[in-house]
Structure 1
């Protein structure tokens, strides 16, 4: 254990002065290296002599001769100063090509469908030794998962963050309706009559039949018939292909499903509030080179994926 009482007598500048004097063995040259006047260096040497109870350097001619005590402690002081210099030195820039660790990302499956594939491909190209892990993000507890180290970065609709987290707005995502044109012979855009006449499948993690769509319809004095719910968006394409029904889901995943499964999309005939999707990460990771690179790459990938899919939402932050 460190002796706090002994260390309080000496500051880092005194040890640096000792090191330079040991190397130069000359007060003038040492003062020049330390950007000090000779009186300032002499004062520092005096304090050091008092703290260590040793003369340390004896003037011999125009130079200085170290005492046995000075010679004895010099290697340890050099090692200590070297360790401190290495500790406070600016870290090397993050090099994705040589990185062999794992990037961990928290997302729910609607955003995962839209972004995970392009993100994995991008990281494979630019950080070929790295691994990418997508972790299921619990909507109500992403901050806790972040603190537990389950992922480095969360992409979701996040509540007000804790003071030790950073929430960075990404984009506002609208909802659109999706259905199988072989099952439902409807023409986009859907009318309110179409929308309320046909059956609906809802995505609900808790199994609720009612949601934002029902609240919007209620304002118009209308209702819809929700005949089934699923806890994950990935179940929708096969369900919609098997029965005549409509699902109203976030635009990014709806456009992916439409492209992959031949489904039709339409703006819903009710006003639905867009969801504010954001990035959430630990404040301690704000300046970390690895974390900065991962966030930048995700933003670039998300922007390109949304643009390619034809989504109406725009990324709100610069890469």
Structure 2
């Protein structure tokens, strides 16, 4: 079966708008014979005149009206969903951006991202969620997640990554009414029991590695699934915890904890954003990544 010439849709659209072969030809940048030939082929295809002379203009037949209606729908879809696929207008987009954040990211980063998105794209939506680390690479590949943001290390193949900011690690310890920065000896630090959280898995690994260098093991007082449980547990026990500096500042406002510089050298942690190669050149995705980078680097 011969495939239809889709360029004929533009001819139908022009004839409907101009109601004249010559004016339709001008509109399309074609010669009048070319448009007449295209109309002749369409008449053959539909076994109908489609447009007939009515005074000084050409009017559509009943079949022509149905063809015009379908043509407008088809071209609208083509223009909106195909030809404009590379365009992106932040001011008018209603797109939902899905971001994988840990509970720490939701506490520290999400408010900044929400404010920036609302200002730049007021009709867009930001959807935070958590995905198990073993499923994150496939979620990024399948488009279930646009970006993963955090201290994540290496996630897998075909993933792009961009460093956003670096933070030093500090310790928190039970404090009094007045919040202050205190000191801790290496000996006391290595003998103390820690509150750890799965959210701080990278921090825990760095700490375990450094303690092994000193012939020590990490002493876990309690392992909690929620990062927000950490400051309360530290404030009401002799346990300590190691957290990024920004989080320690927040915890000192939530509970009676003091902050101390680490007496052992631990490398700073770097927050990165990750995305799959499938979406690297998507206009909206590119715009959102740039917004995230600009916002979180401030």
Q: If the length of structure 2 is used for normalisation, what is the TM-score? A: 0.69
2:251 is the alignment partner of 1:257 = yes
SS in 2 for 1:232: coil
Counterpart in the other structure of 2:148: 154
Listed one character per residue, the Cα deviations across residues 163-215 of structure 1 (whole Å, up to 9, x for unaligned) are 5x7654433444222212449xx9755442342243333324799xx732121
Report 1:27-176 matches (<5 A). 27-52=21-46, 71-87=61-77, 88-89=79-80, 90=84, 93=89, 105-118=99-112, 134-144=128-138, 153-158=147-152, 159-161=154-156, 163=158, 167-176=161-170
RMSD of equivalent CA atoms: 4.6
Contact 1:200 1:245 in 2 (8 A): yes
Q: Alpha carbons of 1:256 and 1:302: their partners in 2 closer, same or farther (altered >3 Å)?
A: farther
Supply the distance in 2 between the matched residues of 1:206 and 1:178 (Cα, whole angstroms): 14
Supply the distance in 2 between the matched residues of 1:249 and 1:60 (Cα, whole angstroms): 80
Question: How far does residue 269 in structure 1 lie from its aligned partner after superposition?
Answer: 3.1
SS in 1 for 2:271: strand
Contact 2:8 2:38 in 1 (8 A): yes
SS in 1 for 2:134: coil
Question: How far does residue 242 in structure 1 lie from its aligned partner after superposition?
Answer: 1.8
SS in 1 for 2:241: strand
Report 1:189-228 matches (<5 A). 190-204=184-198, 211-223=205-217, 225-228=219-222
SS in 2 for 1:238: helix
Unaligned runs of 5+ in 2: none
2:1 is the alignment partner of 1:12 = no
Q: If the length of structure 1 is used for normalisation, what is the TM-score? A: 0.66
**Segment drifting more, 75-84 vs 293-302:** 293-302
Listed one character per residue, the Cα deviations across residues 88-134 of structure 1 (whole Å, up to 9, x for unaligned) are 234884557x96x9775432222222134555667788889988664
SS in 2 for 1:270: coil
Counterpart in the other structure of 1:312: none
Supply the distance in 1 between the matched residues of 2:42 and 2:140 (Cα, whole angstroms): 48
Unaligned runs of 5+ in 1: 305-319
SS in 2 for 1:141: helix
Contact 2:176 2:256 in 1 (8 A): no
Question: How far does residue 35 in structure 1 lie from its aligned partner after superposition?
Answer: 0.5
SS in 2 for 1:211: helix
Counterpart in the other structure of 1:237: 231
